[in-house]
């Protein structure tokens, strides 16, 4: 009889070559402060987001996209700006799949020269810093224009209306065919009338909040906007800022280093 054929030893899975690990995709967050003024203030928040996406693509930047069947660029705003309102120091945060220096990114964005859009600063956020969280917003509301049919403003009457409003515990306003009741002292941080109009500071909230137009209604000045008054958001205050950014992670163009 012939000897049985020698058996081939079983292959050891541990001897198989390991597949190379796929590197994690780059995802770097940048915080950008900008102004939205002129005719651009009549652009809706949704259209503003689209404008930013087009601007970033024209700058030939690699955008970090969401996952799923319909990936979208990771672009976010801590607070939407109401239609018709100017914004002097707005905030947008975006994630890129590359890591340009802040100065390079600032220059590429400013070269687009979009009418009404002024880029103030660019900051690359530290890893793990988290998304921007709104604390409060500040507004300047100009006086109505007599040439547009506005009656003379009685400053004392406006001041008394403001004082009466601030003494209330709660107020109720109509919002999309619904009634919204809010605590006055929690929402209105400051409300002052002066020779240049009204200065207003509103606290952020996880629930529905008052708008500058609501405040005008509550003090009997709802006709101001129809007679040329303009609302400008002068500041968007966030819960955290990077205290000492590195030179290559922060760049600004003729603006204060950080808005607080």
Question: Residue 63: what pLDDT?
Answer: 93
* pLDDT mean over 139-153: 92
On the question of pLDDT at 31 being above 70, the answer is: yes
Residue tagged 């940048």 (tokens): 30
Burial class of residue 260 (count of CB atoms within 10 Å of its CB; 0-12, 13-18, 19+) = exposed
| Whole-Å CA distances, 120 to 87, 106, 246 | 12, 8, 17
Q: In terms of Cα–Cα distance, which of 198, 207, 137 is closest to 166?
A: 198
Task: Please state whether beta strands 28-36 and 117-124 pair in parallel, antiparallel, or not at all (unpaired).
Answer: antiparallel
Query: pLDDT tens, 109-127?
Result: 999 989 999 999 999 999 8
Question: Residue 43: what pLDDT?
Answer: 94
Query: pLDDT tens, 37-47?
Result: 999 999 999 99
Question: Residue 257: what pLDDT?
Answer: 43
Question: Residue 7: what pLDDT?
Answer: 57
SS3 240: coil
pTM of the model: 0.85
Query: pLDDT tens, 215-251?
Result: 999 999 999 999 999 999 999 999 999 887 888 899 9
Question: Residue 260: what pLDDT?
Answer: 39
Residues 6+ apart with CB under 8 A from 4: none
Q: Under a CB-based contact definition with an 8 Å cutoff, are residues 221 and 142 in contact?
A: no
Q: Chain-wide mean pLDDT for the chain?
A: 89
Query: Which region holds residue 8: left if phi is over 0, alpha if psi is between -120 and 50, else beta?
Result: beta
Query: pLDDT tens, 154-203?
Result: 999 999 999 999 999 999 998 878 898 999 999 999 999 999 999 999 99
SS3 51: helix
């Amino acid at each position: 009889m012939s000897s049985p054929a020698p058996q081939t030893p079983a292959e050891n899975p541990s001897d198989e070559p390991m597949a190379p690990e796929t590197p994690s995709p780059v995802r770097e967050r940048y915080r950008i402060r900008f102004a939205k003024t002129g005719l651009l203030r009549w652009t809706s928040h949704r259209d503003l987001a689209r404008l930013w996406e087009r601007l970033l693509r024209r700058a030939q930047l690699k955008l970090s996209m969401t996952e799923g069947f319909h990936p979208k660029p990771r672009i976010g705003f801590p607070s939407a700006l109401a239609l018709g309102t100017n914004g002097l120091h707005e905030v947008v945060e975006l994630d890129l799949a590359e890591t340009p220096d802040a100065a390079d990114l600032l220059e590429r964005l400013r070269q687009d020269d979009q009418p009404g859009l002024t880029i103030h600063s660019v900051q690359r956020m530290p890893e793990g810093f988290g998304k921007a969280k709104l604390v409060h917003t500040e507004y300047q509301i100009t006086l109505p224009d007599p040439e547009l049919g506005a009656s003379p403003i009685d400053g004392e009457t406006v001041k008394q209306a403001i004082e009466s409003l601030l003494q209330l515990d709660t107020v109720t306003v109509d919002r999309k065919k619904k009634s919204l009741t809010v605590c006055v002292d929690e929402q209105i941080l400051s409300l002052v009338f002066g020779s240049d109009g009204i200065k207003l500071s509103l606290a952020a909230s996880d629930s529905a909040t008052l708008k500058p137009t609501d405040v005008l209604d509550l003090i009997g000045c709802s006709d101001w906007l129809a007679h040329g008054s303009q609302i400008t958001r002068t500041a968007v205050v966030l819960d955290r800022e990077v205290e000492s950014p590195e030179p290559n992670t922060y760049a600004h163009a003729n603006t204060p280093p950080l808005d607080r």
